[in-house]
Structure 1
Amino acid sequence: METLIIVVIIFGLLVSIHEFGHLIVAKRSGILCREYAIGFGPKIFAVKKGETVYTLRLLPIGGYVRMAGEDPETFDVKPGQSIGIFLNRQNRVSRIVSDHLEKYPNARFITVEHCNLDSELVLSGYEEEDGPLVRYDIDRDATYVSDNQDFQIAPCDRQFASKPLLSRFLTIFAGPFMNLILAVVIFVIYFSIQGVPSDAPKLGKVIQGYPAEKSGLLAGDRIIQIDGEQTSSWQDIVNYVSKHPKERISLTVVRDGNQQKMDLTTGQRKGANGKTEGVIGVYQPTRHSFAASIGAGFSQTYYWIKMEFVGLKMLVTGGFDLNKLAGPVGIYNATGEVVAQGLFFVLNWTAFLSVNLAVINLLPLPALDGGRLMFIILEALRGKPVEPQKEALVHFIGFALLMLLMLLVTWNDLQNLFTR
């Protein structure tokens, strides 16, 4: 249960920050945002602030910002249709009801002759069968009623498609960008608490039960020589020790300004390359500096971005083991292992997942932010947009393929889970 709660919190954070990026830039660009949703499926909670409905939904597997004009507007008033309208103090239409009219006895009922909701924002119709044609101006903040809920009508200049290319590009790019910012912030917090790794030839935390602790070495000891060879950095210590597994070595140590000789026999372990390497059981030294933590936050984020692209390259060239691809189940299991190791590992894991979400979303694949950005770039190159129906079809096919891939990866996760 603890793992499930942590997973929900982590993904809730990643998704909410991602969608907040879309939302804030869209609003700054003047785009009408109808809904900011965390999760999919039935609503658990909803509150409307200004023109946007903020919702929490049952399935914590994503989120979205519903912007006017991204999809065809659902409200369409046709000539000859009977509707109910409400007027504000300026005698402008503030609310339009097109169905279940019997629920609104206080509305003014008209038969539509003409309605323009894009540029002119006008409505004309007949209040009586043989009465005169009456024209109404529609307020820019007017709403329409659907399923007993008010939705704001979007004038043409407040729809996504009407905005300049740069505004649309930044609106879409802002989601992944916010995930990268989140990763930097988390890494800065992590390094501010844990300290920034230092390359000084000193010892960090000494691990109990390992050769360093048994020989009397302490955190903060400076190693200036090993077997008579000068050491000027932490990496020098690591390189020398790793080449001498299960061997007796002599260290020249400086502690509290005093120099002394200390001998120990190294341990051994299997390295990442499968070869045996020496160990003495100490962590890398760290230093505490907020400025250094900021630098380390950016460099660590850059490192994981680079590693994401290395992994993607291996996936394309066939150098990656497809059985290691992880879906929701795999991520859940990995999170459980991370939670068992403590808070700081959870922080690192969250930052890594945030980078992963950003990079994957920026891939030029249909249904992802990167795919939408490609259509905007294509529009800039062609000088005209791709037909909305064709773009929607491409995104639909892309989404279907992504769901198929998700099912295959989840099946792989389950197989790996039960064959351990």
Structure 2
Amino acid sequence: MELLQHAFGLLTGTIVPFLVVLTLIVFIHEMGHYLAGRWCGIGITAFSVGFGPELAGFTDRRGTRWKLSAIPLGGYVKFQGDEDAASTPDYEKFDGLTPEERSRTFLGAALWKRAVTVAAGPIANFILAIAIFSVTFASYGRQIADPVVAEVREASAAAEAGIIPGDLLVAIDGVPIHTFDDVRRYVSVRPEMPIVVTIRRDGTDRDLRMVPQRTELTDQFGNKMEVGVIGIVTTEAAGNFRVVNYTPLEAIGQGVIQSWHIVTGTFDYLSNVVTGRMKADQIGGPIRVAEASGQMASLGVAALLQLAAVLSVSIGLLNLMPVPVLDGGHLMFYAIEALRGRPVGPRTQEIAFRIGMGLILMLTVFAAWNDTFGRIG
């Protein structure tokens, strides 16, 4: 009985939220490809959420097969002239088509149409994130706190630099600071990197140099991560905690800003991993995402949707990487085609796709290792 209860809890608390989040992100991504392809006049033979055997589906009046497949770890849109779900062109079949039939295939479409269709997937992911953040901000507002120091930790970077309670942070490295979250966001991805913090004390601004300390933090679910901290704390009284409400238009603006923060934060983290300032243990796969989905679901629908927004931006960025097989790899080939005046040869593309697939498999294995064996030190 206890085993059944555990299994039921795992299903409803982790697996279902994970599938809801992933299905939403995949559907929107592939819908971007689908709508752009339709707009460009490219025929579409299949729209699938998931890979592998079909579980359920139907064929619409245009001949597109809409289906839900068995492996819920992605999806694809198959265009006319594609050999497989990875949009590999079927050159032999293409050569046997009439000019009119070729114009309806992805391979036979104009270069700009192929580029627009490929780019529309990641763009749809960014639009989804902006929409989620916008609706959240418009519905619930946003809690903010002024960047006023209430307490300085002993032996911290802030203490050594001379920050004292009552100081107002106005900029870091020349970047204006408006909320305490701005401070946390900027500092967290810069462990052991010198920064200049501009504080306002008694109406006078002064610059203080410090180096954020690398610190391991644990969130409310027990997840550990290393971030940069300078050792300052605010309180409800000092920071004037409050909820700011936004009009629909203002909420959209905030949604764009929030999505951009995720983009810049991702690149900051990756650059820190490459330079060795941060560990690569935050790179996770399906198991990590499933765990996070369950944790956010326990906090409510709004938290789960915000996780979906973060993941949607991440997936959009991943797909724009110039790696063959990914959308960014296709766009790279189109850029080369535009410069050369002719497409890259089939053999070259095949070799590149194999290399790209190898890189994706390596990343998948690395993420699975992180998921299974925990943080890598």
Give yes or no for TM over 0.5: yes
Match 1:178 to one of 124, 128, 136: 124
Aligned to 2:104: 158
Rounded to whole Å, the distance in 2 between the matches of 1:228 and 1:372 is: 53
Q: Is the 8 A contact 2:138 2:245 kept in 1?
A: no
Quick one: distance in 2 between partners of 1:189 and 1:327? Answer: 27
Aligned amino acid, residue 56 of structure 2: F
* Matching residue's letter, 1:160: F
- The equivalent of 1:95 in structure 2 is none
Is 1:335 the counterpart of 2:293? The answer is yes
- CA-atom RMSD in angstroms: 3.5
> How many Å apart are 1:196 and its aligned residue?
4.0
Tell me: higher relative CO, structure 1 or 2? Use CA pairs within 8 A at least 6 residues apart: 2
- Is 1:390 matched up with 2:348? yes
Note if contact 1:183-1:355 (Cα within 8 Å) is conserved in structure 2. yes
Query: 2-side partners of 1:14 and 1:76: how far apart?
Result: 33
- Give the distance between the partners of 1:395 and 1:61, measured in 2 at CA: 20
Bigger shift: 330-339 or 14-23? Answer: 330-339
Specify whether residues 276 and 388 from structure 1 end up closer, same or farther in structure 2 by C-alpha distance, changes over 3 A only: same
**2:361 alignment partner in structure 1:** 403
Structure 1, residues 183-231: CA drift from partner, whole Å, max 9, x if none? 0110011001111456789xxxxxxxxxxxxxxxxxxxxxxxxx99999
1:222-371 equivalences under 5 Å are 235=179, 273=229, 275=231, 277-280=233-236, 283-371=241-329
Q: Distance in 1 between matches of 2:372 and 2:111?
A: 43
Q: Is the 8 A contact 1:195 1:289 kept in 2?
A: no
2:69 is the alignment partner of 1:57:
yes
1:193 aligned partner, one-letter code: S
**Of residues 121, 125, 134 in structure 2, which corresponds to 1:188?**
134
Aligned twin of 1:150: none
Contact residue 19 and residue 36 of structure 1 kept, 8 A: yes
* Distance in 1 between residues matched to 2:167 and 2:351, nearest whole Å: 67
Answer whether contact 1:191 1:296 (CA < 8 A) is retained: yes
On the 8 A contact 2:23/2:72 being kept in 1, the answer is yes
CA spacing shift, 1:40–1:180, aligned 2, 3 Å = same
State the one-letter code of the partner of 1:279: T
Match of 1:108 in 2: none
Unaligned runs of 5+ in 2: 1-10, 84-88, 148-164, 171-176, 184-216, 219-226
Asked which structure has the greater CA Rg, the reply is 1
Question: Which residue of structure 2 lines up, in the alignment, with residue 250 of structure 1?
Answer: none
Deviation at 1:38, TM superposition (A): 0.6
Q: Distance in 2 between matches of 1:197 and 1:166?
A: 43
When residues 41 and 196 of structure 1 are mapped into structure 2, their CA distance, relative to the original with a 3 A threshold, is: same
Q: Percent identity?
A: 29
1:293 deviation in Å?
A: 1.1
Deviation at 1:117, TM superposition (A): 4.2
Partner of 2:80: 68
The one-letter code matched in structure 2 to 1:391 is Q
Distance 1:70 1:228, change over 3 A: closer
Give the AA of the match of 2:244: T
**Distance in 2 of aligned mates of 1:73 and 1:398:** 19
Alignment of 1:41 with 2:20, yes or no, is: no
CA deviation after TM superposition for structure 1 residue 14, in Å: 0.4
Q: Distance in 2 between matches of 1:39 and 1:191?
A: 31
Question: What is the alpha-carbon distance in structure 2 between the residues aligned to residue 171 and residue 370 of structure 1?
Answer: 12
Distance 1:36 1:334 in 2: 28
- For normalisation by structure 1, the TM-score amounts to 0.63
In the TM superposition, what is the alpha-carbon distance from 1:288 to its structure 2 partner? 3.8
Which residue identity lines up with residue 44 of structure 1 in the other structure?
L
What secondary structure does 1:341 align onto?
coil
Alpha-carbon distance, 1:392 to partner: 2.4
What per-residue deviation string (whole Å, max 9, x for no partner) do you get for residues 141-172 of structure 1?
xxxxxxxxxxxxxx111111211111110000
Question: Are 1:118 and 2:97 matched, yes or no?
Answer: yes
Unaligned residue ranges in structure 1 (runs of 5+): 78-115, 121-139, 141-154, 202-226, 240-268
